[in-house]
Structure 1
Amino acid sequence: MTKSLFALFLLIPLSTLSGFSQAYVISNVNIVTMENEQVLEDRAIFVEDGEILKILPVHEPFDRDTFQEIDGNGAFVYPGLAEFHSHIPVTEQGDTQLQEETMWLYLANGVLRVRGMIGDQSHLTLRDKVDSGEVAGPRLFLSGPSFRGATVTSPDQAVQMVKAQKDAGYDHLKLHPGLLMDEFLAISKTANELNIPFGGHISLDVGLEASLKNGYKSIEHMDGYIEALIPDYSRVMDPKIAGPFSMLLVNEADLSKLPELVDLTLETKAWIAPTLTLFDRYFGAKPAEEYRGIPEMKYMSADQVQGWIDAKTPYEKSGVLTKEHVQPYLEFRNMLLMTLHRAGVPVLMSSDSPQVFNVPGFSIHHEIELMSKAGMTNYEILKSGSVNPAAYFGQDGEWGMIKEGAAADFVLVSNNPLEDLTTLQSPLMVVMKGKIYDSDELEEQLRRIASNHTKE
C-alpha cells in the first residue's frame, strides 16, 4: 500500500477524510457488486448512516447540500474480503494492544469480516467495542472456547457448555479433535435445538460421515475427508503412521469413495473453509527459518515469530516435511477443494490467522493466490469472501454485496479485481459501516504496529 489518495479526493480535504462518516457520495467509480459478474461503470455510491442509500450513474444530479462528494477517480469498488478462520488474540491482564492491532491488520488488507474460531470472553467485549465504533475493526462473528478432549468431560457437561455459550452471545461453536461419539452427539443435539451453528475439526472417534449427518455446518481445513477415504482406519488412528492431518496417507486414499462424500456434504448443506495457506506454510517444504524475514513478519512480535518457527521445526527434524511427502499432500488438497467446489459445496475464504506464518490480513492474500492456482476463478474467489460469509450466517444481501439497502462495507482498489487479484493487496480506501479509512491512515497504522514490534 503505497499509492496516496491525494489525487482521488478533490472535493473533501484529505486531512479530514479518514474517519469521515457523514452523508456522502463517492462518485466516478466502477462497482463490482457481487450480485453477478458484471461491473457497473461510472457510478456514484450514496452513503448515509452506515448504509448504501442509492447507486446512480455518475452524471445523475443530486442534492449537494445533503451529500458531500468524494471523487473516486475511476477506482473499482468491491465488498471487501473475509477471514473466516481467525484466532483473535485474547487480552493479557486487560491489555488490548494485540487485539486492536489485529483489527487494524485486517482493515489495512481490505478484510471486513472475521469469524473467530477459538473464543474468549474478551472477544465479546472487543466485538461490542467494534460495533460501537470505539475500536476500528471488521465485522466479528465469534465462537466460544473450543469443545475438545481436554475441555469436554461428559455428555452432560458438554450440553451445559453449549447452553452457556449460546447464553453468552457467541455466534457459533468450534469443535476440536478428541471428542468421543456420545459427547459429540450431545453437543450436536443441543446446538441444533438452540439453533447455534457448529463446526471445526473432525474427531477420529466421530468421523466425517457422522459429523455431517448430525449438523456440522463448516468443515475447517477440509478436515476428515482424507481419513474417510483410507480403507484401513486403524492407520489413521496412529499419528506416527498418519503424520499431521494424515499427510502421509494420501496415497492410500480410495478416491472411488469421494463422490459419495461429496454428495453427503451437499445433502447436509455443509460449508468448507480450506485454509490452503496454513498447510502451504506450516506443513510445506519451505524451511521455517526462511519465513522469519518475510515482510509481513514485522507486524508480529519476535516471540510470536519464534513460536511459529518452533512449531514447524520438529516436523522438519522428523523428516515429515520433505518434498516427497509435501507435494502429493498439497496437490491432494487442491484436488479435494476443486472437487467439492465444482460440485457446489460453498467455500468460505479463510487462512487461519494469526497462525503459523499467517499474519492477519496479509495471509488472506496468500490464500487468494493459492485458491487461484487451485483453479477457482476470480469471481468465485471474491464470492467466497463476500456473498458466502453473509449467507453462512443467514444475512444474505445485508452485507457482502454493494447494493441499495446493504451496509456500507466496501473497498476501493486501482484495478478490476475480476481481472487482477493482486490489486486487492493495495486498498486505496476502506469503508466500514460507512466510516472511511483512507490509505494514509491505513499506512500510518501499519507503521505504528511495526514500530511496536521492532526486532533487535
Structure 2
Amino acid sequence: MKYLKILVKILVALLIICAVAVGIIIKLDYNTTSYLKLKNQPTLQQNSYLIKNVNVIPMTSDTVFRNQMVLIENGIISKVAKHIKNKDIEIIDGQNQFLSPGLIDMHVHVWDKQELGLYLSNGVTAVRNLWGMPFHLRLKEQIENQVIIAPQFFTSSPKLTGKDDLGDDKVQVSSPEEARILVNSYHKRGYDFIKTYAGMTEAEYIAIVEEAEILNIDVVAHPSFNVAYTEQFHPQIATIEHTEDIVQQPLNYKLDTLKLQQIAREMAMRKQAFSPTLTGFYKIFEMLTDPNIENSTQTQYINPLLFEMDSKNQIARWQNEKTQNPSTTKRIKDQHNFHLYAINQLHKQGVTIVSSTDAGIALTAPGFAIHQELNFYKQADLSNFEVLKTSTINPSKVHSQFNNMGRIVEGNLANFNLTIENPLENLNTLSTPVWVMVQGRKIDKNILQEFESKAKNRSNKLISALRWVENLWVEK
C-alpha cells in the first residue's frame, strides 16, 4: 500500500509537470502568433472604405472597368461605379492600379497560424483545408469571431478511408454504418465538408454520399482505388482531387490521351468540378533535379515539424528512387507534361477547374504555391482570364459557402488584391500585391511583409507535435 501511494504521487506529479509544460508551449505559441491578432493591428479594424481611381477586374467577363470607384460597407461591396458620393468614410486612392478578387486555394493543409499570414502575403484571401483536425475547428472559430486576421478558412473533416488503408493520417472506416455515424459527427462538430480518401470501399463511399445528401454537406473526394473513377462523379461530390489520380486509376499508369479524352467528356457531362494540385506533384520533379532543394528559399516557410517528418523523407525517397532507376526523372517530367495536357482537355470540354496546390505537403510552401499553380494552367494553354477564373469565380460555383466570393460585384465580400500591373496581361503581378483586403480589412504591404518574415524559419515544432497528438487522441 505504501509503494502504491508513492506511485500515485509520482504519477500525479508527472501529470502536473506535463500540464505545466503543455501550458507553457501553448502560451509561447500564443505570443509568437500575436502579430495576427486584430487588436494588435488597429489599422485593420476598419472595414468600410471608398476606393477611387482604380481599374476593376470584375471577373464576370474578360474585361477591365477603367477609373472606377468601389464602395465597401461593413466588409461588403456596396457599389461599383464611375462616380460614388462620399459617405464620410475613409478614401483609398487606387492610383490607377488594378483591383481583382482575392485568390482562393482550394486544396491546402494548414499546420499552424503562421501559414495564414503567408497566404495573405501572397494574395490568397480564402483557403479550403482538406485534412481536418480538431485544432482547425478552433482556428475556424477564431477567424469567424474576428480574433485574428486571416484568409477565410473552410475545413474538411479528417480523411475517411477503408479499414485496409493504414496510416495515422487517416480514419479507417470498417462499415457503411460507421461511415454514416462519422459523417453525422463531423457535421455536428462544425467541419464544412467531408473528405474521402483512396481506400474507401464502394459500400462505404455510397453510405457517405447518401448521408451527406441528407445533411446537405458537400463531399470532397480523393478518388478511391476501390470505386470506379467515373462512379465518383456525383452531385454531392463538390470536387474530385488530383490530376495524378487520373493517371493512376482510370488510365492505369498509362499516359493514354484517348482514354483521357473520354474521362474529360464524362466529367463535363456529369458536371463534376475538378481540383488539379499540379504543384504538389511537380515538387517530385524538383526533388529529383535540384540537389540543393532542402535548403531552397521556400523550404524556410514550411512548418518545421512537417519538414523534419515528411519533407526530408520525401527528398530521400525520390533521390533513392532516382539512384535505383535513372529513368525516374524523365518519367515524372513526362507525367507532369501529361497533366498539363489533361488540364487543357478538361478545360476544352467545359469542366469547372478550381485552383489547388496541395500546399502543406512535402515541399509545397503555403501561399507561394498558388502562383506556380496558376502558371501551370497558363502553360496548359488557358488564357490569363481563364486561369484567374480557376482561383476566383470557379470556386464560387462549387460550394455555397463560396458564393459571395470571386467577383467584384455588389453584395459580394470585399476580398481583393491591388496590383501595379493588370493580371489579365501579367499573372506574376499577383505574387506581389500592393495591398490585400479580406472582408473589407485592408492589409498594407508593410504588414504583409511582416506576415512573411514572421513565418520564415519559425520554431514551433512542439506546438505542432501537440496538435498532432491531439488529433490522434480524438480521431483514432
Task: Give TM-score scaled by structure 2 length.
Answer: 0.81
- AA partner of residue 226 (structure 1): V
Q: How far apart are residue 292 of structure 1 and its match?
A: 2.2
What percent of counterpart residues are identical?
27
Q: Does the alignment pair 1:44 with 2:69?
A: yes
Q: Which runs of 5+ in 1 are unaligned?
A: 1-14, 90-97, 231-235, 237-248
Greater mean deviation of Cα atoms: 393-402 or 282-291: 282-291
Matched residue of 2:67: which SS?
strand
Task: Say yes or no: does 1:359 pair with 2:374.
Answer: no
How much has 1:366 moved relative to structure 2?
Answer: 1.1
Q: What is the alpha-carbon distance in structure 2 between the residues aligned to residue 298 and residue 224 of structure 1?
A: 29
Q: Which residue of 2 aligns with 1:343?
A: 349
Structure 1 counterpart of 2:437, from 418, 431, 441: 431
* Residues 281 and 61 of structure 1, relative CA distance in 2, 3 Å threshold: closer
Shift of 1:81: 0.8
Distance (Å, rounded) in 1 between the aligned partners of 2:279 and 2:152: 22
8 A contact 1:338–1:376 mirrored in 2: yes
Q: Which residue of 2 aligns with 1:32?
A: 57
Q: Report the alpha carbon displacement of residue 326 of structure 1 after superposing the two structures with TM.
A: 1.6
CA contact (8 A) 2:76 2:413 kept: yes
Counterpart residue type for residue 183 of structure 2: V
Q: Give the Å deviation of 1:327.
A: 2.3
| Residue matched to 1:445 | 451
Mean alpha-carbon deviation: is it higher for 255-264 or for 410-419?
Answer: 255-264
1:7 corresponds in structure 2 to none
The more displaced of 371-380 and 344-353 is 371-380
> Where does residue 314 of structure 2 map in the other structure?
311
What residue is the counterpart of 2:422 in the other structure? 416
Residue deviations 1:371-417, cap 9 Å, x none?
11121111111111111111111357522111122111111111000
1:395/1:159 CA distance change after superposition, 3 Å: closer
Q: What is the alpha-carbon distance in structure 2 between the residues aligned to residue 420 and residue 362 of structure 1? A: 17
Check conservation: 2:125, 2:150, Cα contact below 8 A.
Answer: yes
Q: In the aligned structure 2, how far is the partner of 1:449 from the partner of 1:214?
A: 38
Q: Hey, what does 1:400 align to over in structure 2?
A: 406
C-alpha deviation, 1:63, in angstroms: 3.0
User: How far does residue 229 in structure 1 lie from its aligned partner after superposition?
Assistant: 4.3
> Could you say which structure has the higher helix fraction?
2
Mapped partners of 1:406, 1:202: distance in 2: 32
Which of these residues, 181, 184, 191, is aligned with residue 163 of structure 1?
Answer: 184
The alpha-carbon distance between structure 1 residues 107 and 311, as it changes in their structure 2 partners (threshold 3 A), is: same
- Report the Cα distance in structure 1 between the residues aligned to 2:141 and 2:329, rounded to whole angstroms: 45
Secondary structure of residue in 2 paired with 1:147: strand
| Whole-Å separation in 2 of the counterparts to 1:18 and 1:452 | 25
Tell me which residue corresponds to 1:12: none
Q: What SS class does the counterpart of residue 83 from structure 1 fall into? A: strand
Please name the residue that 2:207 is paired with. Answer: 186
State the AA in 2 paired with 1:217: A
Q: CA RMSD in A?
A: 2.4
Residue correspondence of structure 1 range 211-230 to structure 2 within 5 A? 211-212=232-233, 215-222=236-243, 224-230=245-251
Judge conservation of contact 1:17–1:438 (CA < 8 Å) in 2.
no
Instruction: Determine the C-alpha separation between the residues in 1 that align with 2:235 and 2:50.
Output: 47
Say whether the 8 Å CA contact 1:18–1:441 is kept in structure 2. no
CA change 1:301–1:429 in 2 (3 A) is same
Query: Is the Cα contact below 8 Å between 2:288 and 2:319 reproduced in 1?
Result: no
The corresponding residue for 2:136 is: 123
Q: Check conservation: 1:298, 1:453, Cα contact below 8 A.
A: no
Q: Is 107-116 or 190-199 further displaced after alignment?
A: 190-199
Cα distance in 2 between the residues matched to 1:48 and 1:215: 34
1:217 deviation in Å? 2.8
Q: TM-score, normalised by structure 1?
A: 0.84
| Alignment-derived partner of residue 53 in structure 1 | 78
Give the direction of change, closer, same or farther, for the CA distance of 1:325–1:23 in structure 2 (3 Å limit). closer
| Residue pair 1:51, 1:407 contacting (<8 A) in 2 also | yes
SS of equivalent to 1:118: coil
Is structure 2 residue 112 aligned with structure 1 residue 108?
no
Residues 161, 397 of structure 1: alpha-carbon distance in 2 compared, 3 angstrom cutoff: closer
Alignment equivalent of 1:68, drawn from 90, 101, 108: 90
Q: Could you tell me how far apart the structure 1 residues matched to 2:233 and 2:250 are? A: 15
Contact kept? 2:239, 2:398, Cα under 8 Å? no
SS of residue in 2 equivalent to 1:217: strand
Alignment of 1:189-268 (within 5 A): 189-212=210-233, 215-222=236-243, 224-230=245-251, 236=252, 249-251=253-255, 253=256, 255-268=257-270
- The residue identity in structure 1 corresponding to 2:407 is M
- Aligned pairs for 1:7-26 within 5 A: 18-26=43-51
Q: Distance in 1 between matches of 2:41 and 2:175?
A: 57
1:131 and 1:73 map into 2 onto residues whose CA distance is 32
Q: Deviation of residue 227 (structure 1)? A: 4.2
Q: What residue ranges of structure 2 are gaps of 5+ in the alignment?
A: 1-39, 167-171, 461-476
**Residue number among 185, 196, 209 corresponding to 1:175 in the alignment:** 196
What is the CA–CA distance in structure 1 between the aligned matches of 2:105 and 2:280, rounded to whole Å? 13
The AA in structure 1 aligned to 2:85 is F
Distance 1:323 1:332 in 2: 14
